[in-house]
Amino acid sequence: MFERKNQNKVFAIGFVLILIVVAWSFVRPAISRLGDSGENSDKKINEEIMKAPAITPDSLFKKISAKDNKAFIFDLRDDIDFNRGHIEASVNISSDSLNSKALGSSGADKTSDIVITNEGEDVFGVAKKVNDLVANGFSNTKYLQGGISAWKNKGYLLVSSGGGEADESKIKKVSASQLISAGGSGSDSIQFIDVRDKQVFSTGHIPSAINIPLSELEKDQDKISPVKKVIVYGKDEDEAKRSAITLFDLSFFNAYVLEGGLDEWKKSGGKME
């Protein structure tokens, strides 16, 4: 009886070992494929990054400074990070939305200098987008090496759209009565900037005011005087404040918000056109 029990025990152990060997023969190829897949994935990521052309922050700064050599800059970060600070005249857009149609709508063509950036952490994501656009014929597309983080580390300024703690200190205000006393819209030393939409602007505005919608302020900054006292107003004071913050970051330290906006201007006897 004792011998029979031992035989049964040996048989059971042998059977289990056979099952383990059979199971391993099925599982091993799958594990091997997973390992190969990881290696291939890392290889593809490295190849994508190595293939994508890049531009350094220094080179991009020189390109922006040379007004005759315009670059189209697309920022792939979310709108909150973008509004806190972005490179001058850049466009906020998601990676999925950045395609040939979006580039065409922005004015870029297949010969344009195009720069794509993000915060700087997801190098693969931005490199892949660059390679996709190059493959679609936009051969002068590059990504910003190190992203926005590298740009800031170099000491280059970012443009804010408002909302930051330091932004309030960039806002200066002037009353309608002060402006009217100084000659109003007829003064040669004052320039009014109306940042409302073009259609709203056409329904009535301060005489001699230039219409530059807030969304186009960075792009059309060359229309703004660097020496005159610049007065901005919009559909409300919040829009005017955001405009003043943007102008401050663009080095227009002579920009003021029209306190009370158009309502206060009209109440104070200011003329409309």
Residue 191 belongs to a domain with what CATH number? 3.40.250.10
Which pLDDT belongs to residue 185? 73
In a domain, 159, yes or no: no
Which pLDDT belongs to residue 67? 72
Q: What is the pLDDT of residues 81-119, one digit of tens each?
A: 999 999 999 999 999 999 999 999 999 999 999 999 999
In a domain, 48, yes or no: no
Q: What is the pLDDT of residues 204-256, one digit of tens each?
A: 999 999 999 999 999 999 999 999 999 999 999 999 999 999 999 999 999 99
Residue type, 109: D
217 and 174 within one domain: yes
In percent, how much of the chain has pLDDT > 90?
70
In a domain, 78, yes or no: yes
Q: What is the pLDDT of residues 25-84, one digit of tens each?
A: 655 665 555 555 555 677 777 788 889 999 999 999 999 888 756 789 999 999 999 999
DSSP symbols for 99-167: SHHHHHHHT--TTSEEEEE-SSS-HHHHHHHHHHHHHTT-TTEEEETTHHHHHHHTT---B--S-STTG
237 and 205 within one domain: yes
In a domain, 158, yes or no: no
Please list, in sequence order, all residues whose beta carbon lies within 8 angstroms of the beta carbon of residue 94, skipping any fewer than 6 positions away: 76
Instruction: Show the 3-state SS of 43-66.
Output: HHHHHHHHHCCEECHHHHHHHHHC
Residues spanned by the domain of 20: 1-43
67 and 136 within one domain: yes
178 and 126 within one domain: no
Which pLDDT belongs to residue 29? 61
117 and 188 within one domain: no
199 and 112 within one domain: no
Q: How many domains does the chain have?
A: 3
Which pLDDT belongs to residue 152? 96
In a domain, 238, yes or no: yes
